[in-house]
Amino acid sequence: MKHGFSINDCMEAAEAKVGIEDWKAYQWEDCDGDSIVTGSVPDGVYSKGPRKGEPRFVGKGKRVIITRAELEARAIAYEAETGKCWDCKGTGQTWAGWNKAEGTKYRECQRCNGTGEAQQ
């Protein structure tokens, strides 16, 4: 069974691949199964408004391609190092959706059947 990947997984992989201290991903695009992630080093944080406290990015960011194979390798390494399921990060629950009335919904992880342990 192949691993599942979130946008956050792609962005974290891009941050690790770039290797620039304090570089943060801020945009994600799907490209036929691979991902294009854009980011840069923030030049500060917003001091007011609805984005107060969030990083502020100015100028053109650096684009990084993250392939499905790179994500799969990260998942395999994560499971070998931690013994936890990659898809749920050891929680036994994966995201199932969101709606205004009920908020975020989770379901039992299908990869590990809710145990949170990596499959052999």
Q: For residues 120 and 64, state if they share a domain.
A: no
pLDDT at 1: 53
Looking at residue 3, its pLDDT comes to 83
Rounded to the nearest 5 percent, the helix, strand and coil shares of the chain are 20, 30, 45
| Residues of the chain falling short of pLDDT 70 | 1
Amino acid present at 18: V
Look up the domain containing 108 and give its range. 87-120
Domain count, the chain: 2
SS3 52: coil
Q: To the nearest whole percent, how much of the chain has pLDDT over 90?
A: 79
Tell me: do 21 and 48 sit in the same domain. Answer: yes
Whether 75 and 107 map to the same domain: the answer is: no
36 and 94 housed in the same domain: no
Give the pLDDT score at 42.
93
- Decide if 54 is inside a domain: yes
Question: Do the bridges between strand 34-40 and strand 24-31 make them parallel or antiparallel, or are there none, so unpaired?
Answer: antiparallel
Are residue 94 and residue 77 in the same domain, yes or no? no
Shared domain for 22 and 39, answered yes or no, is yes
In this prediction, residue 86 carries a pLDDT of: 94
In this prediction, residue 60 carries a pLDDT of: 82
